[in-house]
Amino acid sequence: MSGNEPLRTPARLRTTPSWLITHTATHASRLVSDAFESVGARRYHFALLSALAEFGPASQAELGRRCSIDRSYVVEAVNELAESGYVLRTPDTADRRRNVITITPEGESALARFDAALGEAQDALLAPLSPAERKLLTTLMGRVFERQQQQTRRG
């Protein structure tokens, strides 16, 4: 083999879904991190603002569970979001030990910017696929994810 030929991945790997998912996820993670960084955000910011926009005000603990984010990271991310004016943190009237987090109008605007950046990353990742193939891939991966979530909840 000459030094100019590209290295080929073994067929056993290229036809193993877990290998493909793992290596594609690594690439996707890089694309998404770069996209969020370009708009001054991180994944946790996007996840937390998405949950607040969709489900409304929530405690930090609930946000962590809903977004599968460890408590310590939720606190750090909520602090950053509050400093940016994207969320309000107020004491829970039912339990003063808890805070309720609410998205602000500035947070809604930021989420729209984050959505646009994420969309560009998705387009770059899925460039080889048609719109129908993208939808099918998302549907199938969603089914795999839901099954994994169900098994995690049972276990």
How do residues 75-113 score in pLDDT, each as one tens digit?
999 999 999 999 999 998 888 888 999 999 999 999 999
CA atoms of 110 and 41, how far apart (whole Å): 9
The answer to whether 90 and 58 are in contact (CB under 8 A) is no
CA atoms of 48 and 111, how far apart (whole Å): 10
CA atoms of 1 and 128, how far apart (whole Å): 29
* Residue-wise pLDDT tens digits, 29-82: 999 999 999 999 999 999 999 999 999 999 999 999 999 999 999 999 999 999
CA atoms of 28 and 30, how far apart (whole Å): 5
Structure tokens at 16: 């193993």
Mean pLDDT, residues 122-145: 96
The answer to whether 63 and 87 are in contact (CB under 8 A) is no
Cβ neighbours of 80 (radius 10 Å): 17
Structure pTM?
A: 0.86
Q: What is the dihedral of CA 28, 29, 31, 34, to 10 degrees?
A: 170
